[in-house]
Amino acid sequence: MQTLIQLGATALQIGAVYILFSLGLTLIFGVMRIVNFVHGHIFAVAALTVAYFLPSLVEGGLSAPIAYILASLAGIVAALGLGALIYLFGFRYFQRDLVGSFILSIGLVLLLDGVLLHVFGGAVRGVPEIFPGRVSIAGAQITVQRLFLCAVALVMAATLYWTLSHTKLGKALRAVSYDHEAAMMVGVPYSRIAFLGFMIASLLAAVAGVLLAPVTIVSPVIGTDYLIKGFIAVIIGGLGSVPGAILGSLFVASIETFGSYYLDSSYATLAIFGMVIIVLLFWPKGVLGRG
């Protein structure tokens, strides 16, 4: 029983990052009807910026938490700047064009792979633990750093859900996701809403990047694995569905965690892809469909 509780806690920690990642993907698809493969690079820029600046700030005399806050702000600004450039000079011209946006995404992935390698180098970087220590919850041992990650992810997901449900911006985002032409006919400025939706998604990826940097090894290709897992999560949950993205993320994290412990990491990966095939066969729009 103790092992099951510990594995459940680990799955929640991993799922917290997947949730932030997949919420951004599903928001972009819901509003713009495009598949954004560059989402992983926005995530990577935030994590790399933290890994690049934080050690220098600590050596300069700042405490680790203050240095982490400053490095995280720099990472989020850099990631949002990249997101704005990608939208204004790329995806803005391919909205609701699945084929065109797919080709553009592939081109941008190749371009940004080279840029990140040139700017940050190919070496992996480690970020020191910012919040040391462990806590025991129901017998499960969780590091304070990962608990902080889960808490921020929960707040971000709840804020996004509340924004979509109760604010004028959220209602506009939901309106264009259902029928953008009807929304425009009643006065919703589609171009502005699409840009804001893209930037909110970029913010989610950036926050995921700065949260993950202290608990893993950071490299220019760090976004690739999370991009794949994020897409799998939204496919299982349902493209365009916020609850589906959360459910799919927790499902992928659970299979990965329990499968790796009881079987092997390779079997866990096979189980995830097997689950995708089953979902596509029986629920082509995902378990929760489009919400």
Tell me the per-residue pLDDT of 105-155, one tens digit each, with 9 for 90 and over. Answer: 999 999 999 999 999 888 888 888 888 888 887 777 888 888 898 999 889
Give 69-111 pLDDT, tens digit per residue. Answer: 999 999 999 999 999 999 999 999 998 888 899 899 999 999 9
Q: Name every residue whose Cβ is closer than 8 Å to that of residue 268 and which is 6 or more positions away in sequence.
A: 255, 256, 258, 259, 260
Domain ranges in the chain are: 1-220
- Please, what is the Cα angle at 14 between 198 and 23, to 5 degrees? 20
The whole-number pLDDT of residue 282 equals: 87
Distance CA 177, CA 183 (A): 9
Which amino acid is it at 51? A
DSSP-H helix ranges across 60-143: 64-89, 98-120
Question: 52: burial class by Cβ within 10 Å (0-12, 13-18, 19+)?
Answer: buried
pLDDT band (50, 70, 90) for residue 203: very high
Give 169-192 pLDDT, tens digit per residue. Answer: 999 998 988 888 888 888 889 999
The helix (H) or strand (E) run that includes residue 126 is strand 125-126
Say which residue, 118 or 6, is predicted with more confidence. 118
Q: Report pTM.
A: 0.91
291 has pLDDT over 60? no
The helix (H) or strand (E) run that includes residue 209 is helix 190-212
pLDDT band (50, 70, 90) for residue 16: confident
Distance CA 161, CA 97 (A): 27
Maximum mean pLDDT: which of 194-203, 223-232, 258-267: 194-203
Q: What is the mean pLDDT of the chain?
A: 88
290 has pLDDT over 80? no
